[in-house]
């Protein structure tokens, strides 16, 4: 077999690897000379490039390394999303890390590494390469979750995530082994050829089920969600935001690529599994969020619920469900990171915001933060005219036209439930007297981040058609 | 004939030592039984023409991983009385779920026994593995280096006092 080296298709990965290594060297150098490390700025440049590459080369597609790496519109769309998520996390992270006295360059280095893993994940159908990339992403995120390593809860978060993640990876790998045993291939596109036309071997179905279980863990779907609240609560808030948005987006993209390419149409078992998991995830995620007093736990359960909504789109892949998921991921990224960013902005030195009591009456001291929180939470709940409304509309519409009417009804009903707990946060912010009137420290970068995110939540809500068209375009080759 | 017999012997050994690994209360003993599991797997690999993999299995898993596990157990230095397990409802559920999973897997793999795909004759030779890692699997091979680097960076950050 000949070498098929194609530097164009791994351009995003080359950029990220370059910045990853550069950050390592710069951080080590500035540490040894006792200067403040500026790796955060390097990260910004790197992620801006990551987001810019797809915009520049949009539509120029190629494959390389003997079909191992696909640089198609889907990968480009996801690279763009990852770049944006990375930039937003870098904007909100310094303030929090400063508050808890952990402003260390490693955070951005690990962030770059995990983005690198994600960007490889979304550009391959080869399960071995996918698993390696998944591990790069996960290892970096485990450490980010335990970044406040002197704080017990942060370590607990990291440890739980690590143990459960390790088991999930093992299950995933076992599934890949079974799929290989049944089809003789580890490439989803070749698996599809083996599966198509003939009856699917039980061993392949079993393998795919285990692969699905690995994915469900990463997207925090019920019943693989047990680690989520604890890990999200204990992890540093910017890391939590990244886990809730970045990791979930990468896992969903991988799920789309692998599942849709390898088994289309779904065998009955896979469809039943997706149906059940979507049902439980929407139900349990939303109802558990109602009883939370810890805001990070609340957002954790809400992120579980959102995974449930997006699973609807995966089920309805024939009726535009996938493009709805891509659009939803984009909207969800802005709104969810935004909500976490407001928590960060309200925090004080050594006293980050976690409990709902801590934000009592804060809107009267910080009217702009209050307004931003309204926008983000309304978008998460799906209230028009925010982008979240259209995200849910597209998802439910595709689910209904694909015949999953009961799931769509459940989705709409649980969205009403979600309105209760999102509004409760706003009631605490607006309707109570503030317990102390000392305003929180201002931070320029968080301010910029919040402005950008609120703008996009509203902008995506005004012209959703434009972006849904891009999402449909990105998926043309996949479906 | 001999090969078939050896496969059964190694397979039985793997299952037996696997059981011993979870049945022994002393973790050091469990770790050593685990080493035997990995060793018998190496034997099976060797019988399935994967000589290189068998060697690596012994070098890395039996040689390094088992020793590492033994070291960790020795360093933890915990009280054996803490290890006495209690029977709880959760454990009962876990046993049931594991049993269901086991039966399902038997069903899946059982179907494969007749329709299995035989490996190509040159399968598992060191030369072929070398060729594969440097041609078809060049990119994953390179990406693994990033994985190791990330693990090092993360490990150093977590472990270092500052």
Residue A438 pLDDT more than 90?
Answer: no
Task: Flag if A113 and B135 touch (Cβ within 8 Å).
Answer: no
A329 domain-assigned: yes
pLDDT band at A479 (very low <50, low <70, confident <90, very high): low
* Interfacial A residues in 147-186 facing B (CB < 8 Å): 149, 158, 178, 181-182, 184
Which chain A residues are Cβ-neighbours of B105 within 8 angstroms? 206
Looking at A216-220, A334-338, B123-127, which range is the least confident one? B123-127
Tell me the C-alpha distance between B114 and A471, whole Å.
44
| Ranges of each domain in chain B | 1-77, 123-162
Tell me the C-alpha distance between A454 and A450, whole Å.
6
Three-class SS of A209-249: HHHHHHHHHHCCCCCCCCHHHHHHHHCCHHHHHHHHHHHHH
pLDDT of residue B123: 73
Residue of B nearest to A102 (CA): B162
DSSP lists the bridge partners of residue A351 as A348
Which chain B residues are Cβ-neighbours of A5 within 8 angstroms? 138
CA distance A129 to chain B (A): 5
Looking at A57-61, A107-111, A163-167, A374-378, which range is the least confident one? A57-61
Mean pLDDT score, A38-55:
94
Task: Flag if B140 and A17 touch (Cβ within 8 Å).
Answer: no
Q: Point out the residue among B139, B150, B151 whose CB comes nearest to the CB of A129.
A: B139
A312 domain-assigned: yes
Q: Note the pLDDT tens digit of each residue in A281-307.
A: 999 999 999 999 999 999 999 999 999
Looking at A52-61, A166-175, A199-208, A387-396, which range is the least confident one? A199-208
Q: Is the ipTM of this complex over 0.85?
A: yes
pLDDT band at A118 (very low <50, low <70, confident <90, very high): very high
Task: Flag if A132 and B143 touch (Cβ within 8 Å).
Answer: yes
Task: Flag if B154 and A110 touch (Cβ within 8 Å).
Answer: yes
pLDDT of residue A196: 65
* Residues in CB range of B69: below 8 A, 6 or more apart: B31, B34
pLDDT band at A117 (very low <50, low <70, confident <90, very high): very high
Report the mean per-residue pLDDT for chain B. Answer: 86
Residue of B nearest to A105 (CA): B157
Task: Flag if A3 and B147 touch (Cβ within 8 Å).
Answer: no
> For residue A67, how many other CB atoms are within 10 A of its CB?
15
Task: Flag if A129 and B150 touch (Cβ within 8 Å).
Answer: no
- DSSP result, B126-139: HHHHHHHHHTTTHH
Looking at A92-106, A166-180, A261-275, which range is the least confident one? A261-275
> For residue A266, how many other CB atoms are within 10 A of its CB?
19
Closest by Cα among A59, A108, A66, A78 to A12: A78
**Choosing among A113, A127, A183, which should be mutated to test the B contact, i.e. which has the most B CBs within 10 A?**
A113
Task: Flag if B108 and A69 touch (Cβ within 8 Å).
Answer: no
pLDDT band at A417 (very low <50, low <70, confident <90, very high): very high
Chain A / chain B CB contacts < 8 angstroms: 94
A8 domain-assigned: no
Closest by Cα among A461, A465, A464 to A384: A461
Tell me the C-alpha distance between A318 and A113, whole Å.
34
Mean pLDDT score, A150-179:
93
* CA angle, B149 then B151 then B152, to 5°: 65
Residue A206 pLDDT more than 90?
Answer: no
Percentage of residues in chain B having pLDDT higher than 70: 89
Residue B162 pLDDT more than 80?
Answer: no
pLDDT of residue B91: 87
Percentage of residues in chain A having pLDDT higher than 70: 99
Q: Is A240 exposed, middle or buried (0-12, 13-18, 19+ CB in 10 A)?
A: buried
Assigned fold of B1-77: 1.20.120
Task: Flag if B108 and A203 touch (Cβ within 8 Å).
Answer: yes
Task: Flag if B146 and A140 touch (Cβ within 8 Å).
Answer: no
Locus of tokens 């890949």:
A176
Q: Could you tell me the end-to-end alpha-carbon distance of chain A, in angstroms, rounded to an integer?
A: 30
* Residues in CB range of A297: below 8 A, 6 or more apart: A229, A232, A233
Q: Is A346 exposed, middle or buried (0-12, 13-18, 19+ CB in 10 A)?
A: buried
B25: helix, coil or strand?
Answer: coil
Residue of A nearest to B108 (CA): A203
Q: Could you tell me the end-to-end alpha-carbon distance of chain B, in angstroms, rounded to an integer?
A: 61
Q: Is A114 exposed, middle or buried (0-12, 13-18, 19+ CB in 10 A)?
A: buried
Q: Does A17 touch chain B (CB under 8 A)?
A: yes
The winner for highest mean pLDDT among A181-185, A392-396, B70-74, B76-80 is A392-396
Task: Flag if A1 and B112 touch (Cβ within 8 Å).
Answer: no
- Taking the model in full, what pTM does it have? 0.93
Task: Flag if B108 and A178 touch (Cβ within 8 Å).
Answer: yes
Tell me the C-alpha distance between A442 and B147, whole Å.
37
Residue B113 pLDDT more than 70?
Answer: no
Q: Note the pLDDT tens digit of each residue in A309-331.
A: 999 999 998 888 999 999 999 99
**Choosing among B154, B159, B160, which should be mutated to test the A contact, i.e. which has the most A CBs within 10 A?**
B154
Residue B157 pLDDT more than 80?
Answer: yes
Tell me the C-alpha distance between B98 and A148, whole Å.
36
The winner for highest mean pLDDT among A34-43, A254-263, B36-45 is B36-45
Residue of B nearest to A114 (CA): B150
Closest by Cα among A140, A208, A203 to A172: A208
Residue B14 pLDDT more than 90?
Answer: yes
CA distance B49 to chain A (A): 16
Residue of B nearest to A178 (CA): B109
Task: Flag if A140 and B131 touch (Cβ within 8 Å).
Answer: no
Tell me the C-alpha distance between A244 and A285, whole Å.
13
pLDDT of residue A408: 94
pLDDT band at A199 (very low <50, low <70, confident <90, very high): low
Which chain A residues are Cβ-neighbours of B140 within 8 angstroms? 68, 126, 128-129, 132
Which chain B residues are Cβ-neighbours of A205 within 8 angstroms? 108
Looking at A158-172, B25-39, B82-96, which range is the least confident one? B82-96
The answer to whether B38 and B61 are in contact (CB under 8 A) is yes
Q: Point out the residue among A110, A113, A184 whose CB comes nearest to the CB of B117.
A: A184
Closest by Cα among A355, A386, A352 to A371: A386
Which chain A residues are Cβ-neighbours of B131 within 8 angstroms? 1
pLDDT of residue A193: 77
Task: Flag if A128 and B140 touch (Cβ within 8 Å).
Answer: yes
Q: Point out the residue among A69, A136, A206 whose CB comes nearest to the CB of B105.
A: A206
Q: Which residue pairs, CB below 8 angstroms and at least 24 apart, start in B122-130? A: B123/B49, B123/B50, B124/B45, B124/B48, B124/B49, B124/B50, B124/B51, B124/B52, B124/B53, B125/B49, B125/B51, B125/B52, B126/B51, B126/B52, B129/B52, B129/B53
Q: Point out the residue among B111, B139, B144 whose CB comes nearest to the CB of A203.
A: B111
Mean pLDDT score, A216-241:
93
Residue B117 pLDDT more than 60?
Answer: no
Task: Flag if A129 and B140 touch (Cβ within 8 Å).
Answer: yes
**Choosing among B48, B147, B161, which should be mutated to test the A contact, i.e. which has the most A CBs within 10 A?**
B147
Q: Does A136 touch chain B (CB under 8 A)?
A: yes
Q: Note the pLDDT tens digit of each residue in A335-346.
A: 999 999 999 999
Q: A353 is in which domain, residue-wise?
A: 268-479
pLDDT of residue B112: 58
pLDDT band at A441 (very low <50, low <70, confident <90, very high): confident
Percentage of residues in chain B having pLDDT higher than 90: 40
* Interfacial A residues in 39-78 facing B (CB < 8 Å): 64-66, 68-69
| Total count of domains within chain A | 1
Residue of A nearest to B102 (CA): A206
Q: Note the pLDDT tens digit of each residue in A237-271.
A: 999 999 999 999 999 999 998 888 777 778 888 89
* Residues in CB range of A76: below 8 A, 6 or more apart: A53, A54, A57, A58, A61, A474
* Interfacial A residues in 176-235 facing B (CB < 8 Å): 178, 181-182, 184, 201-203, 205-207
Mean pLDDT score, A200-226:
88
Tokens encoding A71: 């640089």
Mean pLDDT score, B106-117:
62
Q: What is the DSSP letter of B65?
A: I
* Residues in CB range of A305: below 8 A, 6 or more apart: A281, A282, A285, A286, A289, A414, A418
Q: Is A432 exposed, middle or buried (0-12, 13-18, 19+ CB in 10 A)?
A: middle
């Amino acid at each position: 077999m000949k070498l098929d080296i194609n530097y164009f298709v791994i351009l995003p990965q080359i950029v990220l690897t370059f910045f990853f290594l550069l950050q390592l060297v710069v951080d080590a150098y500035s540490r040894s000379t006792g200067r403040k490390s500026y790796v955060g700025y390097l990260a910004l440049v790197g992620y801006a490039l990551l987001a810019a590459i797809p915009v520049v080369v949009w539509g120029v597609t190629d494959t390389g390394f003997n079909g191992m790496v696909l640089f198609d519109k889907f990968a480009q769309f996801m690279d763009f999303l990852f770049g944006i998520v990375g930039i937003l996390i870098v904007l909100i992270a310094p303030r929090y890390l400063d508050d808890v006295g952990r402003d260390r360059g490693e955070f951005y280095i690990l962030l770059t590494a995990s983005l690198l893993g994600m960007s490889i994940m979304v550009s391959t159908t080869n399960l071995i390469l996918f698993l390696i990339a998944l591990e790069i992403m996960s290892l970096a995120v485990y450490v980010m979750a335990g970044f406040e390593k002197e704080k017990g809860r942060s370590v607990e978060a990291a440890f739980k995530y690590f143990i459960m993640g390790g088991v999930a990876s093992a299950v995933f790998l076992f599934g890949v082994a079974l799929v290989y045993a049944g089809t003789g291939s580890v490439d989803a596109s070749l698996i599809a050829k083996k599966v198509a036309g003939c009856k699917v071997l039980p061993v392949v179905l079993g393998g795919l089920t285990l692969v699905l279980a690995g994915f469900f863990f990463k997207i925090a779907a019920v019943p693989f969600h047990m680690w989520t609240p604890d890990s999200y609560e204990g992890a540093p808030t910017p890391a939590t935001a990244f886990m809730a948005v970045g990791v979930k987006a990468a896992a969903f993209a991988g799920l789309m690529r692998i599942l849709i390419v390898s088994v289309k149409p779904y065998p009955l078992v896979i469809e039943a599994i997706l149906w059940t998991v979507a049902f439980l995830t929407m139900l349990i995620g939303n109802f558990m969020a109602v009883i939370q007093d810890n805001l990070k736990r609340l957002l954790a359960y809400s992120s579980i619920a959102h995974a449930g909504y997006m699973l609807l789109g995966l089920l309805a892949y024939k009726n535009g469900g996938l493009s709805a998921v891509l659009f939803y991921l984009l909207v969800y990224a802005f709104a969810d990171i935004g909500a976490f960013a407001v928590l960060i902005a309200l925090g004080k030195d050594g006293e980050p915001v976690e409990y709902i009591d801590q934000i009592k009456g804060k809107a009267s001291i910080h009217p702009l933060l209050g307004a931003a929180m309204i926008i983000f939470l309304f978008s998460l709940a799906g209230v028009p005219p925010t982008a979240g409304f259209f995200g849910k509309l597209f998802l439910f519409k595709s689910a209904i036209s694909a015949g999953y009417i009961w799931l769509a009804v459940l989705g709409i009903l649980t969205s009403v439930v979600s309105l209760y707990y999102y509004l409760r946060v706003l009631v605490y912010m607006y309707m109570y007297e503030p317990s102390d009137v000392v305003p929180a420290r201002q931070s320029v970068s968080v301010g910029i981040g919040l402005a950008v995110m609120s703008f996009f939540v509203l902008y995506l809500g005004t012209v959703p058609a434009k972006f849904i068209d891009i999402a449909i375009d990105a998926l043309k080759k996949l479906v | 004939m001999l090969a078939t017999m050896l496969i059964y012997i190694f397979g039985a050994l793997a299952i037996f030592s696997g059981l011993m690994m979870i049945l022994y209360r002393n973790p050091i003993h469990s770790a050593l039984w685990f080493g035997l599991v990995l060793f018998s797997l190496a034997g099976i690999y060797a019988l399935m023409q994967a000589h290189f993999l068998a060697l690596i299995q012994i070098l890395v898993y039996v040689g390094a991983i088992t020793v590492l596990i033994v070291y960790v157990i020795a360093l933890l230095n915990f009280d054996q009385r803490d290890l006495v397990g209690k029977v709880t409802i959760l454990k009962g559920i876990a046993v049931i779920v594991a049993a269901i999973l086991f039966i399902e897997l038997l069903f899946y793999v059982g179907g494969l026994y007749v329709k299995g795909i035989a490996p190509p004759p040159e399968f598992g030779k060191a030369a072929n593995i070398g060729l594969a890692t440097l041609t078809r699997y060049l990119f994953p091979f390179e990406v693994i280096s990033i994985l190791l680097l990330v693990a090092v960076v993360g490990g150093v950050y977590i472990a270092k006092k500052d």
